[in-house]
Amino acid sequence: MRDIHNIVILTGAGISAESGLATFRGPDGLWEGHRVEDVCTPEALARDAVLVHRFYDERRAKLAAVRPNAAHEALAALDVHWPGGLLIVTQNVDDLHERAGTKRLIHMHGELKSALCAACGRAVAWADPLPPGSVCGGCGQPSLRPDIVFFGEMPYAMEAIDAAIRDADLFVSIGTSGAVYPAAGFVQTARHVGARTLELNLDPSAGSLCFDEARLGPASELVPAMVRDLLA
Ligand code: APR
């Protein structure tokens, strides 16, 4: 891990699994028999807003019952102590990275603790259930929806993420199946600019072979070990 200055770390549902949050594509990945692709689309929201809002209400309520695990805590320690550039990009909509203390963080797929006005585009902090028809405090329209990037929508902050990867010396992917683009393609950009690439995951992912190194195991063990190496 010598000669590393700028680091970009991508996280997915696997980093929160040991906190008790279900992953999307594992054996526990169905929600009331729905595939995630069936509830997380603009079409599903238009067809059955009650179902889609309830899906996210349940997930938001669950946050109160879970805590960051050793992997989130190790990344927060890296954020505090790493003297170079660091960006943690999470596909997760939970708040466990920030609750662990990470500051240099982008939620590229949105956040459960935020509501988005479909009429004016304003995002507001939101902790409660969010029934369809909730009124936006900015424009007064009954257009608040979960602030989640649905399949087919553009993830947040792509320019900033791309710029950080293009400057990176090390790109690390943690707990993601590599099934969803554009995040699944970040490793290719990192390789293209000559960054070292490392995957930490419980199982081999769709993109494992693209990485210089893949370590298999639980995030709560692999991430603290990686952070110890980096800060040594
Ligand atoms: N430690 C490390 N990895 C783990 C652990 C663990 N304890 N438990 C599970 N994993 C791994 C699984 O092996 C799997 O490869 O985490 C990965 C989780 O994959 P997915 O469920 O597909 O989650 P993710 O890759 O984050 O999904 C991407 O898909 O549905 C959309 O927008 C949603 O952000 C999500 C995106």
Q: What is the dihedral of CA 225, 227, 229, 232, to 10 degrees?
A: -130
My answer on whether 165 and 99 are in the same domain is yes
**Mean pLDDT along residues 16-45:** 80
Write the ipTM: 0.98
User: Do 84 and 51 fall into the same domain?
Assistant: no
- The strand pairing partners of 145, in sequence order, are 116
pTM to 2 decimal places: 0.96
At 103, which CATH number?
3.40.50.1220
Alpha-carbon distance 65 to 213, whole Å?
Answer: 34
Q: Within a 13 Å sphere around the CA of 90, how many CA atoms are in the beta-carbon half?
A: 23
Cα 120 to middle of ligand 1, angstroms: 32
Instruction: Note whether 209 and 187 are within 8 A (CB).
Output: no
For residues 156 and 37, give the distance between their C-alpha atoms in angstroms, rounded to a whole number: 19
160 and 100 in one domain?
yes
pLDDT tens column, 128-184:
999 999 999 999 999 999 999 999 999 999 999 999 999 999 999 999 999 999 999
Q: Would you say residue 23 has pLDDT above 90?
A: no
CA of 105 to the centre of ligand 1 (A): 18
The residue range of the domain holding 58 is 28-65+112-148
Q: Are strands 110-117 and 123-125 parallel, antiparallel or unpaired?
A: antiparallel
Atom of ligand 1 nearest to the CA of 37: 30
Mean pLDDT for the stretch of residues 27-46: 76
Any idea what the CATH number is for the domain that residue 34 is in? 3.30.1600.10
Distance separating alpha carbons of residues 143 and 115, to the nearest angstrom = 10
pLDDT band at residue 22, thresholds of 50, 70 and 90? confident
Domain boundary among 99, 128, 148: 148
